Amino acid sequence: MRYAAVQQSPVFGGKLVRVDDEALKDLPGNPQIVQIKGGFVGYNSPVPDGEDPDLWAAAVNIDDTVAVVADSWWEAKSALESLEIEWDGGSHAGLTSDKLKTALSTQASGELPVLVETGDVGKRIKEAKLSLKAEYVFPFMDPAPLEPLNCTVLIEKSKATVWAGSQYADDAHRIATELTGLAPENVKFNLMQCGGGFGRRVQNDFVYQAVQIGKAMSGTPVKVLWSREECIKHSTYTPLTVVKFAGALDEDGNIDTWSCRIASAQAALQSYGGTHFPFFFPNMHIAYQRDKTTPIPFGWMRGVGLTQHLWMNFGFLNELAVLAHKDSVDLYRALLDPSLIPKDLEQYDIAVARSKTLRRVLDAAAEKAGWGGRAKNGSGRGIAVSDTAYYLGYESSSKAAVVDVTIKDASVRVDKVAITIDAGTIINPDIVRQQLEGCISYALTNAFYSEITLENGQVQQNNFYDYPILRIAQVPEIEINLLPSEGSPQSVGEDAVPITIAALVNAIADAGGPRIRSLPIKELSLV
């Protein structure tokens, strides 16, 4: 067995200029260099009808890579660090996340493709006695699974064997087949258990690298292992997203106008994040644009597109509730009235059923939490309710989150998170609880810590010391309420991430803390 460590262009899309291997001559482990040329290597799933191929999330791109193969991984890593490598960052070498954020903010104010348009939003905003505008920002985030990316490959004369933990095994097999030129039946892909995926292992760039290295070491098994730094600096990231909201109240204090204008870095068809809203208003405007020029590789993360958008939607909705002097539960319950759904809406019956289910879950969550009354000074409570339907008619579980926090000085403690869920017929309650508990920890990590920033086209974060995750001592009390249901079994693995963040930001505001409009939360430190 041989082992390989890799280093990719520090700037996304950069090119390898030269590598000086003089330093390898006197190093232990018989180190050898393998160079891998970057570029587009295909899609891990077909491009949907109507989608722009340049933006499709399933596109797999590889950056120029230098690999060192040695008798142990540490020898390979040490040898790699001793090399003199020259890179050309190209046109993206001056890119910063602040520049991207500014560009997206400008874009969100310009011409955008319109997804939803009813009534006359512009007129109502101008005429309304009470209206509100706000900008919300979601940063680049790395899924950061605890187990680093790795893949073992053995290339022989007439067959190939690959071992890897992947979320897209079919695509990993395709890559190995195409690179080796072997018939599919002569390529065996062994799908291994892995220490977390959370969307990062959807893209098989690490498998592509391993097969290329395996070809160079034909006849010898090679295990490729990325360092933690390489995993963070060359991950696939949830897209930086800027949303400009506007809303207005009618003369009775009811929300009658909702405007949501979204601009994001390269992303999948994630318009459902903005249009997913289960509420309907007489005047609605939702527009969404993705930026083709952003070189940062798109990636999925636990909670999918709703992790970006749901907390923003509920954050601004809560701002409007405060403006209208309305309780959150009372407001959500009123907005989930099926009579508010336009009769000419496509799949009207499904929308009505969805509204009724969410209202039932909301009522159950409020009852179990003892919602009502005022919290003690410095304490606050927030609530959010949603499903995870990617489009109307998509079956998913429905759930509500209630989050309790206490703020003291510049710190915040999350005291309790309660999730109430209708997941259809539940086969194994313990698994459901485990998934939801994991979602809560993941949500708090995202809310307080997760942010990838760029300077000179390079990711600035390195390891868990500057890209931290939630610690056990910070995990709050968790309560899981499973509602009885005769429906078919539904998803639970991602569902509690978006609604936990949504309820959290509103709890902080309820406790007298700052209104959170940008993640991660920097105004308060988590204790």
Whole-number pLDDT of residue 43: 78
- Measured CA to CA, the distance from residue 451 to residue 443 in angstroms comes to 13
Which percentage of the chain shows pLDDT scores above 90?
A: 84
Q: Is residue 126 part of a domain?
A: yes
Average pLDDT over residues 156-175: 96
Domain assignment of residue 232, yes or no? no
Q: What is the mean pLDDT of residues 193-201?
A: 94
pLDDT digits (tens, 9 = 90+) for 460-519: 999 999 999 999 999 999 999 999 999 999 989 988 999 999 999 999 999 999 999 999
For 93-114, write each residue's pLDDT tens digit. 999 999 999 999 999 999 999 9
Spell out the SS3 assignment of 469-510: CCCHHHCCEEEEEECCCCCCCCCCCCCHHHHHHHHHHHHHHH
Alpha-carbon torsion (175, 181, 185, 186), positive or negative: negative
- Kindly state whether residues 164 and 255 are assigned to the same domain: no
In SS3 terms, 68-84 reads as: EEECCHHHHHHHHHHCE
- The arithmetic mean of pLDDT across residues 337-351, rounded, is 93
Paired tokens of 239? 């897209």
Q: Is residue 231 part of a domain?
A: no
User: What range defines the domain where residue 50 resides?
Assistant: 2-91+149-225
What's the pTM value of the predicted model, to 2 decimals? 0.95
Contact 379, 511 (CB under 8 A): yes
* CATH number of 195's domain: 3.30.365.10
Which of the four pLDDT bands, split at 50, 70 and 90, describes residue 61?
Answer: confident
Torsion of CA 512, 518, 522, 525, to 10 degrees: 50
Domain assignment present for 471? yes
Residue 42, pLDDT score: 80
Across residues 191-218, what is the average pLDDT? 96
The mean-pLDDT minimum among 84-98, 331-345, 388-402, 436-450 falls in 388-402
Residues 208 and 283 in one domain: no
Total structural domains within the chain: 2
Indicate the SS3 state at residue 55.
coil
* pLDDT tens track for 295-337: 888 888 999 888 889 999 999 999 999 999 999 999 999 999 9
Say whether 106 sits in a helix, a strand or coil.
helix
Shared-domain flag, residues 117 and 201 = no
pLDDT reading at 396 higher than 90: no
Taking residues 434-442, what's their average pLDDT? Answer: 97
- Smallest CA-to-CA distance from 51 within 274, 266, 244 is with 266
Residue 270, pLDDT score: 57
Q: Is the pLDDT of residue 20 over 80?
A: yes
109 and 178 fall within a common domain: no
282 occurs within a structural domain: yes
